[in-house]
Structure 1
């Protein structure tokens, strides 16, 4: 009988400890995701020339302020890595991160995906947009019309314009796919880092490089500066599909504010003024809910690209 009482007391004590631990874990979890901004900081990465992008993005401040009821500050980072660091140091609340940069940020527990952008697809190889909204896109390799480079096999030893190594379409996907095909681009080609996919297209057009890795299709952006790129810069290769860009938030942001923020972006994308602003910034035409597992394919490509880069 005494042994039974001891056993019951032990069970009761274990239950109490378990409940306390669960409560503490829940409290800790809630504390970890309890941040609610009093002023919202939003940052973009330059897919086009940074100064141009900042001018296009600034009007978003007023629209977000109206939706959220708090001051909003919009800026443009120098590149993906700088934006990730700014979110890590909690200087930036919301980052418009391309897929690979998001994967890096999430791995560091810096950011969670909130939304994925929707864009109109492009007819290939003309580069002209169609009316199909998509949650995915492709990277392409472009050369100047008349070039002796006719396929990826001809890129060995050539000068190629790339984006930041965390750029999914401007680096990771082309590097990974060509590596699987037998071309180690970092080792066997001459890489030139440029800021902005429009600048990469113009570099090809001006003869500064032999080819460029860009998102499909960045040529219409460059055509605003030089219309001839639509016919004089041509694609020779398209990668597999990539998940669209993210709107990512600080990992400690509260669920309640995340929900409010997601709805704010969706509302802005549906408004006439907001649609125009978002189109001018990144050619975004809407937003859809997203989850981290959507980017597992990017993680696979990232490993292959890293293998190619490390073997340089």
Structure 2
């Protein structure tokens, strides 16, 4: 009995000696697991999606060559596609089906609020001046929205839009809905209540054409959208004219899903900035969205969008 008891004591002592080492090992394993979870999502294949600011098929064809350029920069396969609308891309990023989105400002604000998506870059474009949307030589990080009508329509002011038909984009489109609708409200015209019929079209080029072809009386578009159809309709500048141009809107974003690792956020941002400086890369981004390059972005830049989002809630009050 004594030997058995001594044996038990020896076993207990050995166990106690091993316990600190075991706890330390557990602590290291736990720390390693935690560190791994903090590192965030690491893509094995990068999915990049664009919004259809003009004909979706045309945009996809122009953007597809980005796959090869991004793959070269990042070292992983890349898939580029175009969403059906603004809301779809936000939901796709929220459900982790899309890693990187070319989001207009309001879609970014929505994606950040709902899913914690993170803005990496903001686009730079050449400024645009009236009356015929000529490009300036100054790079800017903003754009404006316009309300277009036919020159022969007799519509001269925002109040003249009461009872008319207006071509708009999705309700998350900053230039195609929010800014023009809020500006109209400030001038005493409620797009939801003043006998105005809205027609949702896919792409700002379609908004311009709907006015040109007299399918609608007016259209909400980004300033410069008439240039999208100028090649085919050479009289567009004289026949379709702006009656209102809004305040500045922060430029489009390159946004990543909320759980993207910090390391990959940096890699993706650097890849797009590098590509934009190459001859081939610049030609692609310029042809797709008239982007000239990218600069680092911060969330606070888009607080003005949040303010307009609050104001547009007044449409239904």
Question: Is the structural similarity TM-score above 0.5?
Answer: yes
Question: CA separation of 1:291/1:145 partners in 2, compared to 1, >3 Å: closer, same or farther?
Answer: same
- Verify the 8 A CA contact 1:32 1:252 in the aligned structure 2: no
Query: CA deviation digits over 1:18-77, x for unaligned, max 9?
Result: xxxxxx99x869725511111000000100011111111111111111111110000000
Offset at residue 255 of structure 1 (A): 0.8
Matched with 2:199 is 192
In 1, Cα distance between the equivalents of 2:90 and 2:204?
20
Q: Structure 2: where are the runs of 5+ without partners?
A: 1-29
- Classify the secondary structure of the residue corresponding to 1:223: coil
- Verify the 8 A CA contact 2:158 2:187 in the aligned structure 1: no
Query: CA deviation digits over 1:131-153, x for unaligned, max 9?
Result: 11100011011111122101112
Matched, 1:116 2:122: yes
Question: CA separation of 1:252/1:229 partners in 2, compared to 1, >3 Å: closer, same or farther?
Answer: same
Aligned CA RMSD, in angstroms, stands at: 1.7
User: Any residues of structure 2 matched to 1:221-232 within 5 Å, and which?
Assistant: 221-232=228-239
In 2, Cα distance between the equivalents of 1:257 and 1:198?
35
Q: What TM-score do you get using the length of structure 2 for normalisation?
A: 0.87
Q: What TM-score do you get using the length of structure 1 for normalisation?
A: 0.89
Query: CA deviation digits over 1:168-197, x for unaligned, max 9?
Result: 000000111211221101222110100000
In 1, Cα distance between the equivalents of 2:35 and 2:106?
27
In 2, Cα distance between the equivalents of 1:258 and 1:30?
16
Considering only CA atoms, is the larger Rg found in Structure 1 or Structure 2? 2
Matched with 1:177 is 183
- Verify the 8 A CA contact 2:159 2:187 in the aligned structure 1: no
- Verify the 8 A CA contact 1:33 1:251 in the aligned structure 2: no
User: Any residues of structure 2 matched to 1:21-60 within 5 Å, and which?
Assistant: 31=37, 34-60=40-66
In 1, Cα distance between the equivalents of 2:256 and 2:277?
21
Question: CA separation of 1:143/1:71 partners in 2, compared to 1, >3 Å: closer, same or farther?
Answer: same
Query: Residue 297 of structure 2: which of 290, 300, 307 is its match?
Result: 290
Query: CA deviation digits over 1:107-153, x for unaligned, max 9?
Result: 01241101000011111121111111100011011111122101112
The number of equivalent residue pairs is 287
In 1, Cα distance between the equivalents of 2:34 and 2:179?
38
